[in-house]
Structure 1
Amino acid sequence: MTWQRIQAPPGLDPPRPVTVRAQTIPARHVFPDHAHDWNQVVYAISGVLTVTVEGHSLVISPEQAVWLPTGLRHRVGSLLGAEFRSLWIANEVGRGLPQNPTVFAVTPLLNALIVEVTALDGEEDADGYAGRVTGLILDQLRRAKALLGALPWPRGGSSLTALCEALYADPADPRGPEAWSRELGMSERTLARRFEAETGMSLRSWRRRLRLFKAIELMGGGLDVTRTALELGYGSTSAFVYAFRTEMGCSPQAYMRGRRADMRHG
């Protein structure tokens, strides 16, 4: 199934100093390659985004965002649909922020500030409140922690994209390297070599990270641990809890309790 292009409106004004754009991205829709004369934060308050920059693609959840410096060509889309928020940040207020594309953690406070500044868009700022919210957003961006945990994605148009899309849609898909190599018309060795070349990970490691990524998404949407384990294809709840603890250093229940506490105090 092909992806549909989203055309940006013409004559967009530069940010003064921060502009937020709110948009729904339908499933399998994408903004094609483009660049801006200003910095950008790519973020979804719900759903999952696929971001391609400098030939590398990755998937980010609502707990993550991507910082894109001025002039960097990029592409943004969503496999399953997302509520997209794009923050455009003028160069003069972007000092102290990264000079390279960066994935970073979105704190509950930063999420709330982005929601608030979106609600204020277009209103007069007679008392300076919107300016103070903008200042807090910039402070949060400067304090944001860079992440390595985004889910890498094959290059657009690669035959491996179909594999990753299928596994993302159904993490419980039981097909292994042998079945997938037949499906894609290549040897297992070629599949392994190409997958690592395009994602920087083995297929096995990628599937493990995918399951972790989806687990956080599913539990954040209200699914309990048992149902999440079944959705991800684990043979038992205990197997899922063990895998989650190995990757995250805590149980799924403890992780979600910490996340809810962060949201209350963020």
Structure 2
Amino acid sequence: MAWETLQAPSGLATPQPITVRAQAIPARHSFPEHAHGWHQMVYAISGVLTVASEGHSFAISPEQAVWLPTGVRHRVGSLLGAEFRSLWIADEAGRGLPAAPTVFAVTPLLKALIVEAAEIAGAEDRDGYAGRVTDLIIDQLRRAQPLPGALAWPRAGSSLMALCEALYADPTDPRGPRMWGAELGMSERTLARRVEAELGMSLRSWRRRLRLFKAIELMGGGLDVTRTALELGYGSTSAFVYAFRTEMGCSPQAYMRGRSAFSSVPLRREAPARQAGAQSA
């Protein structure tokens, strides 16, 4: 099934100092590649986004965001649909933040601030409250921790897209490199080289990272540890817990308790776009 392109409106205005955009992205939709004259933080309140920039492409969950410096060409989309939040940040306000695209962890506090900024966007700021929320967001961005282990994702048009989408939909898919090579019309060796070049690791390592990514997504959606282990194809709950602990340094239960340290932020579905200022992805 082909992806469809979302139209990015014209007439963009420079953020003063932050513009927040909220939009629901349908499944298999993406914005065309483009760049801004300001910084951007790409984030999904729910669902998973794919973000491509400067030869790299990532899938990010609601625990992650991507920082895109001014002028960096990028493409944003969603395989299964997502509640998209985009923060445009003026150059001056973003001074000192990374000079290259960066994936970083989103704390519960930063998530709550992003949701609040979207809620009050466009309202009159009589008592300076919006300005204080903006200052806190910038402060949280400066404290954000980079995530070198983000899930790599193939760029649009890549021959690996079918493979990665199939494994994302079903992490238990038993096909190995030989069968996938035949499926994609290439030798096992050629497939291995292509995966290493585009994803930066072996197919086996990518599948292991995909399982971890999906585990966090599934548990965040309410599945318990045992059901998550079964969904991901682990032979037992203990095998899943061991694999999770090896990668994350804590058990799945401890990870989810940490996520729940702050109260859940109530969300509501919004119109296709709602923000202060102009629009774009």
The reply on whether 1:208 has 2:230 as its aligned counterpart is no
Alignment of 1:32-181 (within 5 A): 32-181=32-181
The whole-number CA distance in structure 2 between the counterparts of 1:20 and 1:265 is 20
Q: How far off its partner does 1:155 sit?
A: 2.3
Amino acid in the other structure paired with 1:177: P
Q: Does 1:247 align with 2:247?
A: yes
Amino acid at match of 1:228: T
Q: Which moved more, 1:60-69 or 1:153-162?
A: 153-162
Structure-1 separation of matches of 2:7 and 2:227: 39
Deviation track 1:25-55 (CA, whole Å, cap 9, x = no partner) reads 0000001100000100000010000000012
* TM-score, normalization by structure 2: 0.92
Q: Could you tell me which amino acid in structure 2 is paired with residue 72 of structure 1?
A: V
Q: TM-score, normalised by structure 1?
A: 0.97
Which has the higher mean CA deviation after the structures are superposed, 158-167 or 249-258?
249-258
Offset of residue 245 of structure 1: 1.5
Which structure: greater helix fraction? 1
| Alpha-carbon distance, 1:72 to partner | 0.6
Q: Deviations over 1:165-189 (max 9, x none)?
A: 0001111111111211111111111
Q: What residue identity is the alignment partner of 2:103?
A: V
Secondary structure class of the residue paired with 1:92: coil
2:270 is matched with: none
Moved over 6 A (4+): none
Instruction: Give the residue type in structure 1 aligned to 2:41.
Output: V
1:59 Cα shift?
A: 0.6
CA–CA distance in 2 between the matches of 1:205 and 1:71? 32
C-alpha distance in 2 between matches for 1:98 and 1:243: 31
Find the residue that maps to 2:92 and give its secondary structure.
helix
For CA contacts below 8 A with separation 6 or more, give which structure has more relative contact order: 2
2:276 is aligned to: none
Unaligned stretches of 5+ in structure 2? 266-281
CA displacement at 1:68 relative to structure 2 = 0.5
